[in-house]
Every structure is written in C-alpha cells, then in structure tokens.
Amino acid sequence: MESDIENRPTAQAKGLLPIDIERIKADFPILDQKIGDHQLVYLDNAASTQKPRVVINAILEFYRKYNANIHRGLHYLSEKATAMYEHTREHTASFIGGVQPKEVIFTGGTTGAINLVAYTWGEENISEGDEIVISEMEHHANLVPWVILAKKKNAVLKRIPVTPDGYLDLTNIDTIITQKTKLLAVTHMSNVLGTINPVEALAKKAHAVGAVVLIDGAQAAPHMPIDVKAIDADFYCLSAHKMLGPTGVGVLYGKAELLDAMPPFNLGGEMIREVRFDKVTWADLPNKFEGGTPNIADVVAFDSALHYLEELGMDNIRQHEMDLTAYTLDQLSAIPGLEIQGPRNSNQRGGAISFTDSDIHPHDISTFLDSKGIAIRAGHHCAQPLMKIMGKVATARASLYIYNNEQDVDALVKALGEMRRYFGL
Amino acid sequence: MSGSLDDMYRDIILDHYKAPRGKKPIEEANIASDGHNPACGDELELKVSVDGSTVRDVHINCKGCAISVASSSMLAEQIKGKPLEEVKGLAEQVRKMLKGENVQLPEDTDDLDALKGVRNFPVRIKCALLAWVTLLEGIKTFEKGTGESKTINLEETD
C-alpha cells in the first residue's frame, strides 16, 4: 500500500490543474461556519491563513502520541519527536529550493528570523558609514530592525522608492546600491500592494558590490514556488502561519558559510557544544541558532502544511491566485468611489489587494463587511512609511488564498455596494 | 463581532458623520489642541474660544472614521455655550462611559448616549474617545496658562 501512495502522481507532477475549491474548502473546518446570519468569507489571508484538518490533526496527534523534548533524550518519545522535528527541517529545505537542512533555522516567525540576522550578522558586519538598502514597501518587520541597527552603528539607511502604480522604482538603482552597500533587505511580495519584486535581479546587483541579500518571503512563500538558490538569496525568511501552518513557527534560511560565521543569538541550552565556567563553545548548525526548547509540536505540524501545499502544487496555487486576483481587480474596479492600490497586472502581483473608498474610512469598511460575515483587514498593515507615501492614513485589504473562489469575491463586491447605501452615499 | 452593526452606527451617529458640526473655522481661540490616533490614522484639530468662563465657539476638524468624526461633531454641538467647568465634567463623564463605567449623563446631552454602542467594538473605543481626551488636554493647558497643548497621542492615554 505504501508504494501506491508514493507513486500517486501529485497535482504538480500532472502539470497545471484547475484547483477544486469546493473540495479544498471542505478541508478547512473553520470555514464552515456562520458569522451572525452570514456564511464566513475569509479574506484576511495575508495576515494569517486558516489551517486544514491535516495540520490541526498533526498538532493533536503529536501531543497525544509523541510529545517529549527533542535532541538529548535517550528514550523512545524523545527520539521520535526529534526525528519528526528534523524531518520538517528536511522538508522545508526541499520546499524552498533544495538547500541543505542545516541551512534551515526554525524561529518564531519572519519577524524573529529577521531580528536574528540583524542582531547577529548585522551587529558584526555593519559599521559606521556602511549602507543598508531597503525598499519603501517594507513591512515593519523588515524595516524597524534596520532603522535601529543603522542608528546604533551610524550606518546609512537607503531606500528604493515605490512608483505611484506600486512597483519598485529602479531608475536610480545604481546610485542606491553602491560600493558602500553592505546589506540589501527587501520583500519578495508586498503585504500592502501585492507587488512581486524582481528579487533575482536585485540580488545580482547587490552581490556585484559584495553586499549580503536578505529577502522577506512572508507573503511570497505561501503563494508561489520558491527557489532561494535561483534567487541567490543569502537569507530568506518566512512564516508558517501564513501558509496553512501553525502560528509561532518561522524559518530563517541562510547560506551555510554565513550562518557558520555568525555568532549565536539565543544563548542557553541546545545551542552549545561544551560549557565550562570560563569558556563556552557553540554547537554546529542548525542547533547554534535554536537555543532553548523550540516550538516542537507546531514545527512538526508545519510538515503537514507543506505536504498539503505540495499536493496541490505551488504552480497550481499561483495560477489559481493569478486568475482570482484578476477577477477581483476587475470586479472592484467597477465599484464607484473605490480606489485600488498596487499593480493591475495579476502576473506581477499576488492576491493581497488594498483599496480605499473616497468617503468611507477603512475601519468603517472593515466593520461593515464584518457584519456580512466577511473578514478583511483595515489599517496601516505594519507599513506606516508606505502609507504616508501613498497619501493614505490606512487602507482596507482583501487577501486571497487557495480556498477562496469567485463566490467569495462576489460576496465582497455585493457587500461593498450595500455599504455605500448604508452610509448614505 | 460582539455587537450588531446598528448598535454602533446609530442613526444619530450617521447623521453627525454625514454633516459634522463645528467645521466652521473660528477667529480667536484660547484653547487649541490636536489629537492623533496612530493605529487608525485619525487626526483631529480642536479650537475653542472661551469668553470669561463660558465656551463661546468651537471649531473641530476630524479626519477619520465615522465614529471619530461623529464623536467630535457631537462634542462641538454639546459644549458650545456651556460653562467650562460643566464642559470639563461632561468630557470626564463621556470618557468614563466609553471605558465601560455606568455614568448618568446630564439630561440635555442625551445624544451622547448613542456613543455607548462602540463599547461592544473594543478596537473602536479609541475612535470615540479621541475628541474628548483632546478637549481635556486643551482645557488643562488653558487652565495652567502654559501656552501650547501637547498633541494627544491615543496610544499613550489608556
């Protein structure tokens, strides 16, 4: 029987398939509920995605059958838990493009991963007068650590501007990335504009001047095939909870030679080789960066999320979201008073779609939609500098995923029409 | 959602939102105070002219959501012509009400009761609070006679 399962062609192996959304929806217990009188329509996926039954069950099963601390235990449960935890590491390594498992560090999330780099690599490698290049569309997670590091080291923070239609403005990129650039830290996909950035080309430019490249993949990794080797990223960060996995798990991918040279971050158990009162030596990768008991159960369950995504095929997921994004942009464009942010071409963007109404504040939009069972997000989306550049105090954002279909978008569009009447417009 | 939509967006709230009072600029102001709610991006500019110990005129310009606009419009309507002491007491009462305390508002301020609806929408309480805490800050500075009020930043006034 086992060989049958192994030989079963995955969606990916069969090529691009139309995704059966109704079947997928049925895999997510939380989606089958009413909010007040209305069927839940979940469009807040850029903030966090829902979990399929296999992920929920994996957490349950771990605590029921395998729970123990990992790595040092000399008993069955500890060995089993260790194997499961390390299996997810191997799986993650293959998921992001076939890197070495020891190059995959588990963190609490993307924020934790970026901070790890800022406080270790950044501390050791950034000095006075060095330049750190970011973009104007960064999430605070890939902005605040660099603002603080630059201040502390008297380094210079330089920005790649954003065009009015939501792309990175690369016109003057050769004056932004210079011989002084030590780090390029840029998002793969904007959480506000949906823009997919040309990270490969940017990495090439940065490497040409000897800079290190960190990519914030929190929004990209859930929605498209990721190959960190093709990008030639030195660091790539992502969050499990934005890709069907549990909260509290993030990934820092780093090239082995960089990670090896970096000092550890969390000092304590698990990350040491030998401890004496006068001297401590560090463990090898990846343990050096995983001091303390990690989030074992959730890392183990993340494996099931990766399986689920692979079963659908990342190419299929990307295709589905491109189609649905194009449909959504089309439908939203027809609503009077609505202004859509970000690229209009669904080939160059993901399904996080920010919009504003000429008269109604995003928080009122969100509250109204909530009364119709529709979950979106409203606010500055942890990108206050970008909001300022866009000339907005806040936006409303609907963000799509694999369990969303045209009916969900239609429900949003219908409610937005009713909203204007409700507020007397 | 823990409250119904119409609980929050009562007719009277929507009425104030669509036609905010106190928009007209005033010539002289003894009290000037700004409010900001960074989480929402709401911004509010408040000017009050005081004649002796009575509020003569109010100008309030609020850029924000329906709740913050309506709340500031109600403030403008309520305080005009009232003694400063009474205004101060009212602002304190409204603040307590929004924070969940049982308060008895003066009879002629019934409209303000409509703001109670936001208490079921925890993230929106600050929206309703903004105008009132900005006013209290303005009055405080006026009474001390120390010139300019600091900008109220709602993150710091919990």
pLDDT tens track for A95-121: 999 999 999 999 999 999 999 999 999
Is the pLDDT at B32 greater than 80? The verdict is yes
Domain that holds residue B51: 5-143
Chains A–B, number of C-beta pairs less than 8 Å apart = 52
Smallest Cα distance from B14 to chain A, Å: 7
Q: How confident is the model at residue B111 (pLDDT cuts 50, 70, 90)?
A: confident
Interface membership of B116 toward A (CB under 8 Å): no
B62 touches chain A (CB under 8 A): no
Which of A33, A44, A356, A363 best probes binding to B when mutated, by most B CB atoms within 10 angstroms?
A: A363
pLDDT at A198 over 70: yes
**Residue A57 to residue A96: CA distance in whole angstroms:** 24
Catalytic residue among A96, A99, A116, A382: A382
- The answer to whether residue A308 scores a pLDDT higher than 60 is yes
Q: Is the pLDDT of residue A225 over 60?
A: yes
Average pLDDT estimate for A196-214: 98
pLDDT in tens, A238-281: 999 999 999 999 999 999 999 999 999 999 888 889 899 999 99
Report pLDDT for B3: 66
- Residue B154 confidence (pLDDT): 73
d(C-alpha B3, C-alpha A415), whole Å? 18
In angstroms, the separation between the Cα of residue B65 and the nearest Cα of chain A is 5
- The CATH class, in words, for A60-310 is alpha beta
Q: Which helix (H) or strand (E) holds A309?
A: helix A296-312
Q: Is the pLDDT of residue A3 over 70?
A: no
pLDDT higher than threshold 80 for residue B54: yes
Contact B5 A387 (CB under 8 A): no
pLDDT at B52 over 90: no
Domain regions of chain A by residue span: 2-48+313-422, 60-310
Look at chain B and report how many structural domains it folds into.
Answer: 1
Annotation marks residue A382 as catalytic: yes
Structure tokens at A149: 């590091």
Q: Which residues of A are less than 8 Å from B43 in CB distance?
A: 393
pLDDT at residue A11 in the model = 41
Task: Indicate which CATH number applies to the domain containing B76.
Answer: 3.90.1010.10
pLDDT of residue A12: 42
3-state SS class at A345: coil
Task: Quote the longest CA-to-CA distance of chain B.
Answer: 46
Residue B53 lies inside a defined structural domain of this protein: yes
Residue of A nearest to B37 (CA): A393
Q: Is the pLDDT of residue A31 over 50?
A: yes
User: Chain A contact for B154, CB < 8 A?
Assistant: no
Nearest Cβ partner for A371 among B5, B38, B66: B5
Whether residue A371 and residue B121 make contact (CB cut-off 8 A), yes or no, is no
pLDDT interval class at B156 (50, 70, 90): very low
Query: Please, which pLDDT band fits residue A353 given cuts at 50, 70 and 90?
Result: very high
Nearest Cβ partner for A36 among B1, B63, B121? B1
Asked whether residue B151 is domain-assigned, the answer is no
Judge: A363–B17 Cβ closer than 8 Å, yes or no: no
Question: For A267-271, B31-35, B131-135, which range has the lowest pLDDT when averaged over its residues?
Answer: A267-271
Task: Please indicate if any CB of chain A lies within 8 Å of the CB of B63.
Answer: yes
Q: How far apart are CA B43 and CA B21, in angstroms?
A: 16
A2-48+313-422: CATH number: 3.90.1150.10
Average pLDDT over residues B127-156: 83
Is beta strand A104-107 parallel, antiparallel or unpaired with respect to A250-254?
antiparallel
Instruction: Return d(Cα A232, Cα A51) in angstroms, integer.
Output: 31
The mean pLDDT of chain A is 94
Measured between beta carbons, which residues in chain A are less than 8 angstroms from residue B39?
A: 379-380
ipTM of the complex: 0.85
